[in-house]
Structure 1
Amino acid sequence: MADDSKIVNNGGIGSYTAVGDSFTEGVGDPGPDGVFVGWADRLAVLLSDQRPQHDFRYANLAVRGRLLDRIVEEQVSRAIELGPDLVTFCAGGNDILRPGSDPDDVAARYESAVAGLVPHVGTVMVCTGFDTRDVPVLRHLRGKIATYTAHVRAIADRYGCPVLDLWSLRSVQDRRAWDDDRLHLSPDGHTRVALRAGQVLGLEVPADPDQPWPVEGQRSAFEVRRDNIHWAREYLVPWIGRRLRGESSGDHVEPKRPDLLPLRP
Protein backbone atom coordinates (compact mmCIF):
# COMPACT_ATOMS: atom_id res chain seq x y z
CA MET A 1 0.00 0.00 0.00
CA ALA A 2 1.05 3.58 -0.61
CA ASP A 3 2.07 5.66 2.40
CA ASP A 4 -0.99 7.91 2.23
CA SER A 5 0.38 10.42 4.73
CA LYS A 6 3.15 11.37 2.29
CA ILE A 7 0.99 11.82 -0.81
CA VAL A 8 0.22 15.48 -0.13
CA ASN A 9 3.23 16.39 1.98
CA ASN A 10 5.93 15.21 -0.43
CA GLY A 11 5.53 17.59 -3.37
CA GLY A 12 1.79 18.04 -3.05
CA ILE A 13 -0.97 17.50 -5.58
CA GLY A 14 -1.14 20.15 -8.28
CA SER A 15 -3.71 18.47 -10.51
CA TYR A 16 -6.62 16.11 -9.94
CA THR A 17 -8.96 14.20 -12.27
CA ALA A 18 -12.11 12.48 -10.99
CA VAL A 19 -13.35 9.41 -12.87
CA GLY A 20 -16.63 7.62 -12.27
CA ASP A 21 -20.44 7.69 -12.34
CA SER A 22 -23.18 9.62 -10.51
CA PHE A 23 -21.42 9.25 -7.17
CA THR A 24 -18.39 11.19 -8.44
CA GLU A 25 -20.41 13.56 -10.63
CA GLY A 26 -22.08 14.65 -7.41
CA VAL A 27 -25.72 13.68 -7.95
CA GLY A 28 -27.70 14.57 -4.83
CA ASP A 29 -25.60 17.67 -4.11
CA PRO A 30 -26.93 20.44 -6.38
CA GLY A 31 -25.08 23.72 -6.65
CA PRO A 32 -26.64 27.19 -7.02
CA ASP A 33 -26.09 27.09 -10.80
CA GLY A 34 -27.89 23.77 -11.19
CA VAL A 35 -24.67 21.79 -11.69
CA PHE A 36 -24.03 19.08 -9.14
CA VAL A 37 -21.16 19.65 -6.71
CA GLY A 38 -20.39 16.40 -4.90
CA TRP A 39 -17.54 14.96 -2.90
CA ALA A 40 -14.95 15.13 -5.72
CA ASP A 41 -15.49 18.88 -6.20
CA ARG A 42 -15.31 19.33 -2.44
CA LEU A 43 -12.08 17.31 -2.31
CA ALA A 44 -10.68 19.50 -5.08
CA VAL A 45 -11.30 22.55 -2.88
CA LEU A 46 -9.45 20.90 0.02
CA LEU A 47 -6.52 20.09 -2.28
CA SER A 48 -6.49 23.56 -3.81
CA ASP A 49 -6.26 25.09 -0.34
CA GLN A 50 -2.88 23.32 0.04
CA ARG A 51 -1.41 25.04 -3.03
CA PRO A 52 -0.37 28.59 -3.93
CA GLN A 53 -3.09 30.65 -5.59
CA HIS A 54 -3.94 29.51 -9.15
CA ASP A 55 -1.51 26.57 -8.84
CA PHE A 56 -4.09 23.80 -8.87
CA ARG A 57 -6.04 22.28 -11.76
CA TYR A 58 -9.06 20.01 -11.65
CA ALA A 59 -11.10 17.91 -14.10
CA ASN A 60 -14.22 15.86 -13.37
CA LEU A 61 -15.06 13.36 -16.11
CA ALA A 62 -17.75 11.45 -14.21
CA VAL A 63 -21.19 10.93 -15.76
CA ARG A 64 -24.25 9.52 -14.01
CA GLY A 65 -25.40 6.03 -15.03
CA ARG A 66 -22.11 5.00 -16.60
CA LEU A 67 -21.13 1.32 -16.51
CA LEU A 68 -17.53 0.29 -15.95
CA ASP A 69 -16.56 -0.53 -19.54
CA ARG A 70 -17.78 2.84 -20.82
CA ILE A 71 -16.02 4.63 -17.97
CA VAL A 72 -12.79 2.90 -18.95
CA GLU A 73 -13.27 3.67 -22.63
CA GLU A 74 -14.21 7.31 -22.25
CA GLN A 75 -12.83 8.51 -18.93
CA VAL A 76 -9.81 6.40 -18.03
CA SER A 77 -8.36 6.97 -21.49
CA ARG A 78 -8.92 10.72 -21.07
CA ALA A 79 -7.36 10.68 -17.59
CA ILE A 80 -4.25 9.06 -19.09
CA GLU A 81 -4.10 11.88 -21.67
CA LEU A 82 -4.38 14.49 -18.91
CA GLY A 83 -1.72 12.80 -16.74
CA PRO A 84 -2.66 14.46 -13.42
CA ASP A 85 -0.97 14.06 -10.06
CA LEU A 86 -4.09 12.35 -8.67
CA VAL A 87 -6.94 10.31 -10.14
CA THR A 88 -9.87 9.05 -8.09
CA PHE A 89 -11.32 5.98 -9.80
CA CYS A 90 -14.73 5.00 -8.43
CA ALA A 91 -16.63 2.68 -10.76
CA GLY A 92 -18.42 -0.64 -10.98
CA GLY A 93 -21.37 0.19 -8.74
CA ASN A 94 -23.86 0.41 -11.60
CA ASP A 95 -22.58 -2.91 -12.94
CA ILE A 96 -23.13 -4.56 -9.55
CA LEU A 97 -26.74 -3.28 -9.49
CA ARG A 98 -27.58 -5.07 -12.74
CA PRO A 99 -29.45 -8.38 -12.28
CA GLY A 100 -27.19 -11.39 -12.73
CA SER A 101 -23.96 -9.38 -12.54
CA ASP A 102 -20.84 -11.14 -11.26
CA PRO A 103 -18.72 -9.04 -8.85
CA ASP A 104 -15.68 -11.20 -9.61
CA ASP A 105 -15.95 -10.38 -13.32
CA VAL A 106 -16.54 -6.67 -12.64
CA ALA A 107 -13.50 -6.62 -10.35
CA ALA A 108 -11.30 -8.29 -12.98
CA ARG A 109 -12.22 -5.59 -15.50
CA TYR A 110 -11.70 -2.89 -12.88
CA GLU A 111 -8.22 -4.25 -12.10
CA SER A 112 -7.30 -4.22 -15.77
CA ALA A 113 -8.21 -0.53 -15.90
CA VAL A 114 -6.21 0.24 -12.74
CA ALA A 115 -3.19 -1.57 -14.18
CA GLY A 116 -3.40 0.55 -17.32
CA LEU A 117 -3.90 3.80 -15.43
CA VAL A 118 -1.29 3.56 -12.67
CA PRO A 119 1.85 3.98 -14.86
CA HIS A 120 0.57 7.21 -16.42
CA VAL A 121 -0.54 9.33 -13.44
CA GLY A 122 0.89 10.27 -10.08
CA THR A 123 -1.50 8.47 -7.71
CA VAL A 124 -4.69 6.46 -8.25
CA MET A 125 -7.09 6.43 -5.32
CA VAL A 126 -9.69 3.65 -5.54
CA CYS A 127 -13.08 3.52 -3.81
CA THR A 128 -14.88 0.67 -2.10
CA GLY A 129 -18.64 0.21 -2.05
CA PHE A 130 -20.93 1.42 0.73
CA ASP A 131 -22.32 -0.89 3.39
CA THR A 132 -25.97 -1.00 2.29
CA ARG A 133 -27.40 -3.03 5.17
CA ASP A 134 -29.89 -0.26 6.05
CA VAL A 135 -30.68 0.92 2.51
CA PRO A 136 -34.00 -0.28 1.04
CA VAL A 137 -33.62 -2.49 -2.06
CA LEU A 138 -29.82 -2.19 -1.99
CA ARG A 139 -29.61 -4.15 1.27
CA HIS A 140 -30.37 -7.26 -0.78
CA LEU A 141 -27.20 -6.65 -2.80
CA ARG A 142 -24.98 -6.29 0.27
CA GLY A 143 -23.20 -9.59 -0.33
CA LYS A 144 -22.27 -8.67 -3.91
CA ILE A 145 -21.14 -5.22 -2.82
CA ALA A 146 -19.02 -6.72 -0.03
CA THR A 147 -17.38 -9.14 -2.47
CA TYR A 148 -16.57 -6.31 -4.87
CA THR A 149 -15.24 -4.20 -2.00
CA ALA A 150 -12.89 -7.01 -0.96
CA HIS A 151 -11.60 -7.19 -4.53
CA VAL A 152 -11.03 -3.42 -4.65
CA ARG A 153 -8.96 -3.54 -1.46
CA ALA A 154 -6.89 -6.42 -2.86
CA ILE A 155 -6.35 -4.51 -6.11
CA ALA A 156 -5.20 -1.50 -4.10
CA ASP A 157 -2.66 -3.68 -2.30
CA ARG A 158 -1.30 -5.04 -5.58
CA TYR A 159 -0.89 -1.63 -7.23
CA GLY A 160 -0.04 0.55 -4.23
CA CYS A 161 -3.22 2.62 -4.39
CA PRO A 162 -4.67 4.55 -1.44
CA VAL A 163 -8.22 3.44 -0.64
CA LEU A 164 -11.26 5.62 -0.03
CA ASP A 165 -12.97 3.07 2.20
CA LEU A 166 -16.66 3.94 2.09
CA TRP A 167 -17.70 0.67 3.70
CA SER A 168 -16.10 1.68 7.01
CA LEU A 169 -17.43 5.26 6.96
CA ARG A 170 -20.16 4.75 9.54
CA SER A 171 -21.58 8.27 9.31
CA VAL A 172 -22.99 7.60 5.83
CA GLN A 173 -25.14 4.80 7.22
CA ASP A 174 -27.41 7.51 8.66
CA ARG A 175 -30.41 8.29 6.44
CA ARG A 176 -29.48 12.00 6.52
CA ALA A 177 -26.38 11.16 4.49
CA TRP A 178 -28.61 10.16 1.57
CA ASP A 179 -30.73 12.06 -0.91
CA ASP A 180 -34.49 11.52 -1.09
CA ASP A 181 -33.94 8.91 -3.83
CA ARG A 182 -31.95 6.75 -1.36
CA LEU A 183 -29.48 5.94 -4.13
CA HIS A 184 -27.28 9.05 -4.01
CA LEU A 185 -25.66 10.97 -1.19
CA SER A 186 -27.08 14.20 0.21
CA PRO A 187 -24.91 17.34 0.39
CA ASP A 188 -23.94 16.36 3.95
CA GLY A 189 -23.11 12.83 2.79
CA HIS A 190 -20.92 14.14 -0.03
CA THR A 191 -19.18 16.46 2.44
CA ARG A 192 -18.33 13.58 4.76
CA VAL A 193 -16.93 11.51 1.89
CA ALA A 194 -14.78 14.46 0.77
CA LEU A 195 -13.40 14.83 4.29
CA ARG A 196 -12.56 11.13 4.46
CA ALA A 197 -10.86 11.30 1.06
CA GLY A 198 -8.81 14.23 2.30
CA GLN A 199 -7.74 12.23 5.35
CA VAL A 200 -6.68 9.33 3.13
CA LEU A 201 -4.46 11.72 1.17
CA GLY A 202 -2.84 13.10 4.32
CA LEU A 203 -4.69 16.40 4.50
CA GLU A 204 -5.61 18.12 7.72
CA VAL A 205 -9.37 18.35 7.22
CA PRO A 206 -11.61 20.88 9.01
CA ALA A 207 -13.94 18.29 10.56
CA ASP A 208 -14.14 14.60 11.42
CA PRO A 209 -16.11 12.81 8.67
CA ASP A 210 -17.35 10.28 11.21
CA GLN A 211 -18.52 12.78 13.81
CA PRO A 212 -21.96 11.89 15.22
CA TRP A 213 -25.04 13.40 13.65
CA PRO A 214 -27.26 15.66 15.78
CA VAL A 215 -29.80 13.75 17.84
CA GLU A 216 -32.95 13.18 15.82
CA GLY A 217 -36.45 12.61 17.14
CA GLN A 218 -38.01 9.18 16.69
CA ARG A 219 -40.23 8.93 13.61
CA SER A 220 -43.62 7.29 13.88
CA ALA A 221 -44.57 4.16 11.97
CA PHE A 222 -46.98 6.31 9.94
CA GLU A 223 -44.20 8.72 8.91
CA VAL A 224 -41.91 5.87 7.90
CA ARG A 225 -44.67 4.21 5.85
CA ARG A 226 -45.62 7.51 4.21
CA ASP A 227 -41.99 8.21 3.26
CA ASN A 228 -41.56 4.70 1.86
CA ILE A 229 -44.66 5.04 -0.32
CA HIS A 230 -43.49 8.43 -1.61
CA TRP A 231 -40.02 7.07 -2.34
CA ALA A 232 -41.36 4.04 -4.22
CA ARG A 233 -43.65 6.19 -6.37
CA GLU A 234 -41.23 9.03 -7.09
CA TYR A 235 -37.92 7.19 -7.37
CA LEU A 236 -38.04 3.39 -7.30
CA VAL A 237 -40.65 2.85 -10.04
CA PRO A 238 -38.97 5.28 -12.51
CA TRP A 239 -35.56 3.72 -11.74
CA ILE A 240 -36.87 0.22 -12.50
CA GLY A 241 -38.59 1.52 -15.61
CA ARG A 242 -35.38 2.98 -17.02
CA ARG A 243 -33.63 -0.34 -16.56
CA LEU A 244 -36.43 -2.28 -18.23
CA ARG A 245 -36.25 0.12 -21.20
CA GLY A 246 -32.45 -0.02 -21.33
CA GLU A 247 -32.18 3.69 -20.60
CA SER A 248 -29.69 5.56 -18.44
CA SER A 249 -30.06 8.84 -16.57
CA GLY A 250 -26.78 9.89 -18.20
CA ASP A 251 -27.65 9.14 -21.83
CA HIS A 252 -27.45 12.81 -22.84
CA VAL A 253 -25.08 14.10 -20.14
CA GLU A 254 -21.54 15.31 -20.78
CA PRO A 255 -18.72 15.62 -18.19
CA LYS A 256 -19.00 18.86 -16.25
CA ARG A 257 -15.22 19.55 -16.23
CA PRO A 258 -13.61 17.68 -19.16
CA ASP A 259 -10.30 19.55 -18.98
CA LEU A 260 -7.74 20.25 -16.28
CA LEU A 261 -8.50 23.89 -15.47
CA PRO A 262 -7.81 26.12 -12.47
CA LEU A 263 -10.40 25.55 -9.78
CA ARG A 264 -10.68 29.27 -9.12
CA PRO A 265 -10.49 32.07 -11.72
Structure 2
Amino acid sequence: MNQTPRFRSMVALGDSFTEGMCDELLPDGHYRGWADRVADRLAADTDGSDGFRYANLAVRGKLIGQISDEQVDTAVALRGELVTLAGGLNDVMRPGCDIEHVERTLGALAQRLAAEARQVVMFYSVDPSRRMRGSARIMPQILRLQRFVGDLAKRHDNIALVDLFHVPAFDDPRMWAEDRLHFSAEGHRRVAEAVLQALGYPASFDWREPLPPAAPVPRATKLRADLRWLRLHVWPWLLRRLTGKSSGDGRPAKRPSLERYPS
Protein backbone atom coordinates (compact mmCIF):
# COMPACT_ATOMS: atom_id res chain seq x y z
CA MET A 1 0.00 0.00 0.00
CA ASN A 2 1.40 3.40 -1.01
CA GLN A 3 2.18 5.87 1.73
CA THR A 4 0.57 9.31 1.68
CA PRO A 5 3.21 11.71 0.32
CA ARG A 6 4.51 14.36 2.68
CA PHE A 7 5.61 17.79 1.52
CA ARG A 8 7.61 20.28 3.54
CA SER A 9 6.85 23.27 1.28
CA MET A 10 4.31 24.48 -1.27
CA VAL A 11 4.34 27.31 -3.81
CA ALA A 12 1.12 28.32 -5.60
CA LEU A 13 1.09 30.28 -8.90
CA GLY A 14 -1.80 31.73 -10.85
CA ASP A 15 -4.66 34.20 -10.83
CA SER A 16 -7.80 34.79 -8.74
CA PHE A 17 -8.63 31.07 -8.65
CA THR A 18 -5.45 30.36 -6.70
CA GLU A 19 -5.43 33.65 -4.78
CA GLY A 20 -8.65 32.40 -3.21
CA MET A 21 -11.39 34.77 -4.32
CA CYS A 22 -14.15 34.71 -2.95
CA ASP A 23 -13.61 32.35 -0.03
CA GLU A 24 -13.96 33.52 3.57
CA LEU A 25 -11.91 36.55 4.57
CA LEU A 26 -8.96 36.04 6.89
CA PRO A 27 -8.11 38.48 9.71
CA ASP A 28 -5.39 40.06 7.54
CA GLY A 29 -7.96 40.93 4.85
CA HIS A 30 -6.91 38.26 2.35
CA TYR A 31 -9.19 35.53 1.09
CA ARG A 32 -8.51 32.02 2.35
CA GLY A 33 -8.94 29.91 -0.80
CA TRP A 34 -8.36 26.30 -1.77
CA ALA A 35 -4.55 26.66 -1.77
CA ASP A 36 -4.55 27.81 1.87
CA ARG A 37 -6.84 24.90 2.70
CA VAL A 38 -4.41 22.46 1.07
CA ALA A 39 -1.54 24.08 2.97
CA ASP A 40 -3.49 23.61 6.23
CA ARG A 41 -3.68 19.85 5.61
CA LEU A 42 -0.06 19.51 4.50
CA ALA A 43 1.17 21.53 7.49
CA ALA A 44 -0.75 19.31 9.89
CA ASP A 45 1.07 16.27 8.47
CA THR A 46 4.57 17.77 8.48
CA ASP A 47 7.12 16.52 10.99
CA GLY A 48 10.41 18.15 11.91
CA SER A 49 11.65 21.31 13.53
CA ASP A 50 11.48 23.36 10.31
CA GLY A 51 7.74 22.87 10.01
CA PHE A 52 5.83 23.49 6.77
CA ARG A 53 6.45 26.49 4.52
CA TYR A 54 4.01 28.01 2.04
CA ALA A 55 4.05 30.80 -0.55
CA ASN A 56 1.13 31.97 -2.68
CA LEU A 57 2.22 34.17 -5.59
CA ALA A 58 -1.17 34.26 -7.34
CA VAL A 59 -2.81 37.62 -8.07
CA ARG A 60 -6.31 38.16 -9.41
CA GLY A 61 -6.73 39.14 -13.06
CA LYS A 62 -3.34 37.91 -14.24
CA LEU A 63 -2.95 36.67 -17.81
CA ILE A 64 -0.69 33.74 -18.59
CA GLY A 65 2.08 36.03 -19.84
CA GLN A 66 1.98 37.98 -16.58
CA ILE A 67 2.12 34.78 -14.55
CA SER A 68 5.19 33.82 -16.57
CA ASP A 69 6.88 37.22 -16.25
CA GLU A 70 6.01 37.95 -12.62
CA GLN A 71 5.77 34.64 -10.78
CA VAL A 72 7.76 31.79 -12.28
CA ASP A 73 11.28 33.06 -11.50
CA THR A 74 10.29 33.59 -7.88
CA ALA A 75 8.65 30.18 -7.72
CA VAL A 76 11.75 28.43 -9.05
CA ALA A 77 14.00 30.37 -6.66
CA LEU A 78 11.82 29.37 -3.69
CA ARG A 79 12.32 25.67 -4.56
CA GLY A 80 9.01 24.45 -3.17
CA GLU A 81 8.61 20.69 -3.12
CA LEU A 82 4.99 21.01 -4.25
CA VAL A 83 4.03 23.61 -6.88
CA THR A 84 0.51 24.33 -8.13
CA LEU A 85 -0.03 26.02 -11.49
CA ALA A 86 -3.33 27.33 -12.85
CA GLY A 87 -3.58 29.97 -15.56
CA GLY A 88 -4.81 30.84 -19.03
CA LEU A 89 -8.53 31.11 -18.32
CA ASN A 90 -8.40 34.90 -18.09
CA ASP A 91 -6.83 34.90 -21.56
CA VAL A 92 -9.47 32.54 -22.94
CA MET A 93 -12.31 34.71 -21.63
CA ARG A 94 -11.09 37.74 -23.58
CA PRO A 95 -12.11 38.30 -27.22
CA GLY A 96 -9.34 37.63 -29.68
CA CYS A 97 -7.49 35.20 -27.42
CA ASP A 98 -4.26 33.91 -28.96
CA ILE A 99 -4.65 30.30 -27.84
CA GLU A 100 -1.31 29.30 -29.37
CA HIS A 101 0.42 31.91 -27.20
CA VAL A 102 -1.44 30.59 -24.13
CA GLU A 103 -0.38 27.01 -24.87
CA ARG A 104 3.20 27.97 -25.65
CA THR A 105 3.56 30.01 -22.46
CA LEU A 106 1.76 27.54 -20.20
CA GLY A 107 3.79 24.68 -21.63
CA ALA A 108 7.07 26.46 -20.97
CA LEU A 109 5.96 27.24 -17.41
CA ALA A 110 4.93 23.65 -16.72
CA GLN A 111 8.14 22.24 -18.15
CA ARG A 112 10.32 24.57 -16.09
CA LEU A 113 8.42 23.93 -12.86
CA ALA A 114 8.32 20.17 -13.40
CA ALA A 115 12.09 20.16 -13.84
CA GLU A 116 12.59 21.86 -10.46
CA ALA A 117 9.77 20.68 -8.17
CA ARG A 118 9.16 17.27 -6.73
CA GLN A 119 5.45 17.51 -7.62
CA VAL A 120 3.39 19.89 -9.79
CA VAL A 121 -0.41 20.14 -9.75
CA MET A 122 -2.39 21.46 -12.73
CA PHE A 123 -6.12 21.69 -13.47
CA TYR A 124 -8.92 21.19 -15.94
CA SER A 125 -11.11 24.24 -15.30
CA VAL A 126 -14.82 23.76 -14.62
CA ASP A 127 -17.28 23.41 -17.50
CA PRO A 128 -19.10 26.77 -17.88
CA SER A 129 -21.48 25.60 -20.63
CA ARG A 130 -24.42 24.75 -18.34
CA ARG A 131 -23.89 27.66 -15.96
CA MET A 132 -22.90 30.77 -17.91
CA ARG A 133 -24.91 32.28 -20.72
CA GLY A 134 -22.72 33.12 -23.69
CA SER A 135 -20.04 30.57 -22.80
CA ALA A 136 -20.38 28.85 -26.18
CA ARG A 137 -17.98 31.46 -27.58
CA ILE A 138 -15.11 30.32 -25.40
CA MET A 139 -15.80 26.57 -25.26
CA PRO A 140 -13.56 25.65 -28.23
CA GLN A 141 -10.59 27.36 -26.55
CA ILE A 142 -11.41 25.81 -23.17
CA LEU A 143 -11.53 22.33 -24.69
CA ARG A 144 -8.34 22.91 -26.63
CA LEU A 145 -6.55 24.13 -23.51
CA GLN A 146 -7.87 21.11 -21.60
CA ARG A 147 -6.38 18.75 -24.18
CA PHE A 148 -3.08 20.62 -23.99
CA VAL A 149 -2.92 20.39 -20.18
CA GLY A 150 -3.80 16.71 -20.37
CA ASP A 151 -0.91 16.13 -22.77
CA LEU A 152 1.45 17.96 -20.40
CA ALA A 153 0.43 15.68 -17.54
CA LYS A 154 1.04 12.61 -19.70
CA ARG A 155 4.54 13.79 -20.63
CA HIS A 156 5.65 14.54 -17.07
CA ASP A 157 5.44 11.89 -14.39
CA ASN A 158 5.43 14.53 -11.64
CA ILE A 159 2.45 16.55 -12.92
CA ALA A 160 -0.80 15.58 -11.18
CA LEU A 161 -4.00 16.65 -12.93
CA VAL A 162 -7.12 17.78 -11.04
CA ASP A 163 -10.21 17.38 -13.23
CA LEU A 164 -12.89 19.90 -12.25
CA PHE A 165 -14.41 19.94 -15.74
CA HIS A 166 -16.27 16.63 -15.57
CA VAL A 167 -17.92 17.22 -12.18
CA PRO A 168 -21.59 18.31 -12.53
CA ALA A 169 -21.71 19.33 -8.86
CA PHE A 170 -19.93 22.55 -9.86
CA ASP A 171 -23.00 23.55 -11.91
CA ASP A 172 -24.75 24.32 -8.62
CA PRO A 173 -24.99 28.11 -8.03
CA ARG A 174 -24.13 27.52 -4.36
CA MET A 175 -20.61 26.55 -5.43
CA TRP A 176 -20.13 30.10 -6.68
CA ALA A 177 -19.81 33.52 -5.10
CA GLU A 178 -22.15 36.43 -5.79
CA ASP A 179 -20.03 37.49 -8.78
CA ARG A 180 -20.75 34.08 -10.40
CA LEU A 181 -17.14 33.93 -11.57
CA HIS A 182 -15.26 32.80 -8.44
CA PHE A 183 -15.86 29.89 -6.11
CA SER A 184 -17.77 30.25 -2.87
CA ALA A 185 -16.32 28.84 0.35
CA GLU A 186 -17.95 25.49 -0.48
CA GLY A 187 -16.41 25.52 -3.94
CA HIS A 188 -12.94 26.22 -2.52
CA ARG A 189 -13.40 23.49 0.09
CA ARG A 190 -14.11 20.97 -2.66
CA VAL A 191 -11.22 22.07 -4.87
CA ALA A 192 -8.86 21.68 -1.90
CA GLU A 193 -10.12 18.15 -1.32
CA ALA A 194 -9.73 17.36 -5.02
CA VAL A 195 -6.11 18.52 -4.92
CA LEU A 196 -5.34 16.49 -1.80
CA GLN A 197 -6.86 13.34 -3.29
CA ALA A 198 -4.88 13.88 -6.53
CA LEU A 199 -1.76 13.98 -4.35
CA GLY A 200 -2.65 10.62 -2.81
CA TYR A 201 -4.25 11.73 0.44
CA PRO A 202 -7.12 9.57 1.72
CA ALA A 203 -10.54 11.06 1.07
CA SER A 204 -12.06 13.23 3.78
CA PHE A 205 -15.33 13.44 1.84
CA ASP A 206 -16.68 12.98 -1.70
CA TRP A 207 -15.90 16.32 -3.34
CA ARG A 208 -17.84 15.28 -6.47
CA GLU A 209 -21.11 14.63 -4.63
CA PRO A 210 -23.92 17.06 -5.47
CA LEU A 211 -25.29 19.32 -2.77
CA PRO A 212 -28.75 18.54 -1.38
CA PRO A 213 -31.57 20.05 -3.44
CA ALA A 214 -32.00 23.78 -2.90
CA ALA A 215 -35.27 25.45 -2.00
CA PRO A 216 -37.00 27.09 -4.98
CA VAL A 217 -36.09 30.75 -5.49
CA PRO A 218 -38.98 33.11 -6.33
CA ARG A 219 -38.74 34.74 -9.74
CA ALA A 220 -38.69 38.24 -8.25
CA THR A 221 -35.77 37.31 -6.00
CA LYS A 222 -33.84 35.93 -8.98
CA LEU A 223 -34.50 39.11 -10.95
CA ARG A 224 -33.22 41.32 -8.11
CA ALA A 225 -30.12 39.12 -7.85
CA ASP A 226 -29.50 39.40 -11.60
CA LEU A 227 -29.80 43.18 -11.51
CA ARG A 228 -27.44 43.38 -8.53
CA TRP A 229 -24.97 41.11 -10.34
CA LEU A 230 -25.03 43.35 -13.41
CA ARG A 231 -24.54 46.50 -11.34
CA LEU A 232 -21.84 45.26 -8.96
CA HIS A 233 -19.90 42.82 -11.11
CA VAL A 234 -20.61 42.86 -14.85
CA TRP A 235 -20.45 46.61 -15.50
CA PRO A 236 -17.22 47.12 -13.50
CA TRP A 237 -15.66 44.17 -15.36
CA LEU A 238 -16.65 45.66 -18.72
CA LEU A 239 -15.30 49.07 -17.69
CA ARG A 240 -11.93 47.53 -16.79
CA ARG A 241 -11.79 45.81 -20.18
CA LEU A 242 -12.59 49.06 -22.00
CA THR A 243 -9.93 50.99 -20.08
CA GLY A 244 -7.29 48.27 -20.23
CA LYS A 245 -7.20 47.86 -16.46
CA SER A 246 -7.12 44.71 -14.33
CA SER A 247 -8.42 44.00 -10.85
CA GLY A 248 -4.90 42.88 -9.95
CA ASP A 249 -3.05 46.00 -11.09
CA GLY A 250 -0.64 47.07 -8.34
CA ARG A 251 -1.74 44.28 -6.02
CA PRO A 252 1.06 42.25 -4.37
CA ALA A 253 0.87 38.52 -3.77
CA LYS A 254 -0.61 37.61 -0.39
CA ARG A 255 2.31 35.30 0.52
CA PRO A 256 5.27 36.36 -1.65
CA SER A 257 7.92 34.42 0.26
CA LEU A 258 8.20 30.85 1.47
CA GLU A 259 7.40 31.28 5.16
CA ARG A 260 6.46 28.92 7.96
CA TYR A 261 2.77 28.08 7.84
CA PRO A 262 0.71 28.56 9.89
CA SER A 263 2.80 31.50 11.02
- CA shift, 1:240, in A, is 0.8
Paired position in structure 2 for 1:89? 85
Paired position in structure 2 for 1:74? 70
The 3 A distance-change label for structure 1 pair 81 and 13 is same
Tell me if 1:151 matches 2:148: yes
Paired position in structure 2 for 1:133? 129
Q: 208, 214, 224: which one pairs with 1:226? A: 224
Q: Distance in 2 between matches of 1:126 and 1:81?
A: 20
Q: 41, 44, 49: which one pairs with 1:46? A: 41
- CA shift, 1:169, in A, is 2.9
State TM-score, norm by structure 2.
0.92
- Is the 1:129–1:148 Cα contact (8 Å) retained in structure 2? no
Paired residue secondary structure (2:71): helix
- CA shift, 1:197, in A, is 0.5
Which segment drifts farther, 25-34 or 171-180?
25-34
Paired position in structure 1 for 2:197? 199
- CA shift, 1:30, in A, is 3.2
- CA shift, 1:215, in A, is 2.0
- CA shift, 1:207, in A, is 1.8
Paired position in structure 2 for 1:101? 97
- Is the 2:26–2:32 Cα contact (8 Å) retained in structure 1? no
Paired position in structure 2 for 1:20? 14
Q: Distance in 1 between matches of 2:26 and 2:9?
A: 25
Name the Cα RMSD after superposition. 1.8
Runs of 4 or more consecutive aligned structure 1 residues displaced over 3 Å after TM superposition: none
Q: Distance in 2 between matches of 1:88 and 1:255?
A: 15
Paired position in structure 2 for 1:214? 212
- CA shift, 1:148, in A, is 1.1
Counterpart residue identity of residue 10, structure 2:
Y
The 3 A distance-change label for structure 1 pair 79 and 138 is farther
- Is the 1:21–1:65 Cα contact (8 Å) retained in structure 2? yes
- Is the 1:85–1:121 Cα contact (8 Å) retained in structure 2? yes
5+ residue gaps, structure 2, are: none
The percentage of aligned residue pairs carrying the same residue is 35
Q: Distance in 1 between matches of 2:32 and 2:150?
A: 27
State TM-score, norm by structure 1.
0.92
The 3 A distance-change label for structure 1 pair 77 and 173 is same
- Is the 1:13–1:47 Cα contact (8 Å) retained in structure 2? yes
Counterpart residue identity of residue 23, structure 1:
F
Paired residue secondary structure (2:128): coil
Q: Distance in 2 between matches of 1:48 and 1:203?
A: 13
Paired position in structure 2 for 1:182? 180
Paired position in structure 2 for 1:31? 25
Report how many residues are paired: 259
The 3 A distance-change label for structure 1 pair 95 and 116 is same
- Is the 2:168–2:210 Cα contact (8 Å) retained in structure 1? no
